[in-house]
């Protein structure tokens, strides 16, 4: 099992990544929420990975935090959810927002994710409610001591904007438009909202 890769990011073309590890190029797929947190091409990157072995292919999925990978694996345990649907869920919702949707039984929000119908959304809520409620105490606790550290202000700002009702890509774009160096999550959110207001 390949559990983690550390190397140079050679290419990022959603949903595909190419990472050079000691001269070997690993092709991975990742949800959009991971792309928002990746360094620039040519820089070092550490990714937690999940390997799926099929008859016709070995597929590697990459995540910047342990908590994202854990959620991906929990999604795969749900009947009728494969890697494609799990990627769509984690592309449409941050791990924190997904946990909140499950805890609040927000079926309507879950069905807005491409590939998730009402039955699948209900199954996600029923099967993951108890498992995720233990982790909802905080994303920092779930992420472990990974390279991303406990609380990344940029990720916090994106999650907060998403919880305010902005689409994940809108929130990410707004935060990227802010010079966030040395700013707290609150300051990033304030500036991003100002920028969106025009």
Quick count: other Cβ atoms within 10 Å of Cβ 164? Answer: 10
| pLDDT band for position 182 (cuts 50, 70, 90) | confident
pLDDT over threshold 80, residue 163: no
The 10s digit of each residue's pLDDT in 1-11 is 789 999 999 99
Q: What is the pLDDT of residues 37-84, one digit of tens each?
A: 999 999 999 999 999 988 898 999 999 999 899 999 999 999 889 998
Residue 107's Cβ-count burial label (10 Å; 0-12, 13-18, 19+) is middle
Taking Cα atoms as reference points, which of 168, 175, 177, 170 lies closest to residue 153? Answer: 175
3-state secondary structure of 137: coil
- What's the rounded Cα separation, in Å, for the pair 165 and 167? 7
Burial class (CB within 10 angstroms; exposed 0-12, middle 13-18, buried 19+) of 118: exposed
Residue (of 4, 94, 93, 91) closest to 46 by Cα position: 4
Q: Is the pLDDT of residue 162 over 90?
A: no
**Model confidence over 74-132: pLDDT tens digits?**
999 998 899 988 998 998 888 888 888 898 889 999 998 888 889 999 999 999 988 77
Q: Of the candidates 167, 192, 168, 170, which has an alpha carbon nearest to the alpha carbon of residue 179? A: 192
Q: pLDDT grade, residue 143 (50/70/90)? A: very low
Query: Is the CB of residue 145 less than 8 Å from the CB of residue 9?
Result: no
The residues that bridge with 25 in the sheet, in sequence order, are 20
Residue ranges in the chain assigned as alpha helix (H)? 32-35, 66-76, 83-92, 95-103, 107-110, 118-133, 139-143, 153-163, 168-176, 185-197
Residue 158: pLDDT band (50, 70, 90) is confident
pTM (whole model) above 0.85 = no
With a cut of 60, say whether residue 137 has pLDDT above it. no
Beta-carbon neighbour count of residue 135 at 10 Å?
18
DSSP state of 181: T
Lowest mean per-residue pLDDT among 11-15, 18-22, 189-193: 189-193
Q: Which domains does the chain have, with CATH numbers?
A: 4-63 (2.40.50.140), 66-139 (1.10.150.20), 151-197 (1.10.8.10)
């Amino acid at each position: 099992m390949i559990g983690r890769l550390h190397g140079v990011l050679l290419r990022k073309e959603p949903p595909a990544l190419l990472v050079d590890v000691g001269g070997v190029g690993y092709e991975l797929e990742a949800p959009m929420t991971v792309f928002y947190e990746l360094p620039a091409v040519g820089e070092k990157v550490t990714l937690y990975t999940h390997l799926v072995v099929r008859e016709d292919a070995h597929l590697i999925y990459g995540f910047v935090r342990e908590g994202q990978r854990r959620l991906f694996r929990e999604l795969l345990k749900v009947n009728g959810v494969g890697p494609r649907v799990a990627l769509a869920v984690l592309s449409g919702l941050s791990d924190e927002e997904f946990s909140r949707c499950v805890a609040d039984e927000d079926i309507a929000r879950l069905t807005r994710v491409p590939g998730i119908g009402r039955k699948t959304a209900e199954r996600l809520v029923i099967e993951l409610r108890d498992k995720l409620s233990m982790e909802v105490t905080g994303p920092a606790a779930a992420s472990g001591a990974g390279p991303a550290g406990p609380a990344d202000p940029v990720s916090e700002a994106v999650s907060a904007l998403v919880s305010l009702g902005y689409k994940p890509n809108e929130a990410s774009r707004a935060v990227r438009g802010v010079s966030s160096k040395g700013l707290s999550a609150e300051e990033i959110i304030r500036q991003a909202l100002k920028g969106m207001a025009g």
